[in-house]
Structure formats: C-alpha cells, structure tokens
Amino acid sequence: MNQEFPILELENFRFNELSDIFMLDHVTHGNHQITGHKHDFYLFFLIEQSNGTHSIDFVDYPVCNYQLHILLPGQVHAWSLAKDTKGYQLMISKKVFETFAHYLQFSPMPQFNHPVLSLTETSYRLLDSEFKQLNAELEKEKLYWDIIYLRCRLIVQLAVRDIEEEFKDLDMLKSNPIIVRYIKLVDDYYKQEKSVSFYAGHLNITPNYLNILCRKYTKISANTIIQNRVLLESKRLLRISEMTIKEIAYHLGFNDLAYFSNFFKAKTGESPRLFRS
C-alpha cells in the first residue's frame, strides 16, 4: 500500500524524546518554505514579524505581524514566509493537550474554523512573554515538568480566550453541546457512516431535530456537515497522498469510483483527477 500522507511527528522536532512539548525559535531553527504535510501534534505559531502565505487545509491565509497560527493534528498545511520572520513555534502532543480539556471548559479545537488569529499589541505582548518564559524553562539543565505543563496550559487558555473573544460564532456552538458532540462524532465516523440517522441515534435525538439544531447553530444542514468532512479528507488525500483515486474512494467509504467522482465534482466543480493535477 502506498504511503497515505507525509506525517511529521513530534519526534522529528524535539531534542528530548521523553517530553511531549517542544519549543522552536523560528529565527534560529525555522523553515521559511515548507511543502504540504500534516502533523500528529498541535502547533501554536506565535508570529512577531513576517509576511507571506500560510495554506491550511487548502485555504490561503495572509501572514503578517502579531498573529497566532494554530494547527490541529491531521490538518494539511504549507507556508511561504519572509526570510526575516520572527516568532516561536510551540508543539504539544495530543496526549498532553487532552489533559488541558478539563480546564478549558469549552474548546473550539475539535472543529477549528479560525486557525489564524490577529492579535492586539497587548495580547501579543502577553503571549510573547509566556512563550519566552516557557522556552526558558525548556532550556534549563534540570527540567521541572509540572512548571512546564502549567506554563503550556496557560498559553493554550490565553489563546482560547482570545479566539472566543474574536470569533463570536464559537459562543453559539458553546451554547449547544449537542452540536459539538455531533461534529466530534462525524470526525470519528465519517468514513464509515454518512447518514444523519446514525449520528442522531448516538445522540438520542431524531434526525429532524438534529438537522434543526445544525441549521440554527452552524447555518448548514446536518448532512452538509458530513459531506464537508468527507470532502476535506478527499482533498487532503488527492493533493498529498500517493494513493490512487480508486484507493482514496474506497478508503473514504465509497464502494463505487464513479459515485465518488460525481460527489467530488458536484462539490468542487472539477474532477478528482483535475484537482490532483
């Protein structure tokens, strides 16, 4: 079987293999040009100075000073940055990040539609100070992991606070945990299950009521949420993997190649083969 994705793991970056947190100073160790790939960890990239483009799941985001870029495990990204880029990249394993969930009350991370946050100077200075203090802890000869985890958690909490203040649609999601659970279920089962009734059954509600909730809180139907997740993974695999289009179709739960091709073209306006080229 061909390799599905180029995946960078935390071990590709860190110097201490016992840790699940790594900090990289972009000035001394960062790459200004990277091609499409995905990570198995969370990446928080605090940018002090830069310009260029950061592509995240096939959406191009302009890069500028005082930004926070957040990458989730599994997202495909690439960037082209100015050579004078300054900033810090904080990488957190899934295992460690999941321990923060209890303190976040609500986190937009499972389905994140706002990966780039423009910061005020005050917010940037606060985050920059926390990044530098965490980096100083990680560079000490004797590492105090309780302090490192606390500083790391604080950075995540500050980021989530800024995200929720900037993007009000997250407040709407926060007010209905059923939608959050539905999106998480879709992320878990979209390859095998594409019917709204399957998810409604897991949520102990009717498909009609689930659809009403989705339209109210996300402005799209429950079925569209499933289709969008399938489409996103289709794009990831077509653009980056070495799998054939037929292998991709079966991997995503389509028993018929023609059906997959028709689905993709209906959503994007072009065939899978054309998108890949």
- Sheet with 116-118: strands ordered across: 21-25, 86-93, 41-49, 67-71, 116-118
126's CB contacts (< 8 A; 6+ apart) are: 158
In the structure, what pLDDT confidence band is assigned to residue 7 with cuts at 50, 70 and 90? low
- Cβ atoms of residues 178 and 106 within 8 Å: no
pLDDT digits (tens, 9 = 90+) for 14-29: 544 456 899 999 998 8
Residues 252, 264: Cα–Cα separation, whole Å: 12
pLDDT digits (tens, 9 = 90+) for 214-262: 998 888 999 999 999 999 999 999 988 889 999 999 999 999 999 999 9
Q: Domains in the chain, start-ordered, CATH in brackets?
A: 7-167 (2.60.120.280), 176-276 (1.10.10.60)
- Cβ atoms of residues 248 and 260 within 8 Å: yes
Predicted structure pTM score: 0.83
DSSP three-state, residue 20: coil
Element (DSSP H or E) covering residue 56? strand 52-56
β-strands 7-8, 33-39 pairing:
parallel
- Cβ atoms of residues 26 and 41 within 8 Å: no
- The b/e string for 65-85 (b: 16+ C-beta within 10 A; e otherwise) is bbbbbbbbbbbbbbbebeeeb
- Cβ atoms of residues 38 and 236 within 8 Å: yes
- Between 103 and 49, where is the model more confident? 49
pLDDT at residue 108 is higher than 70: no
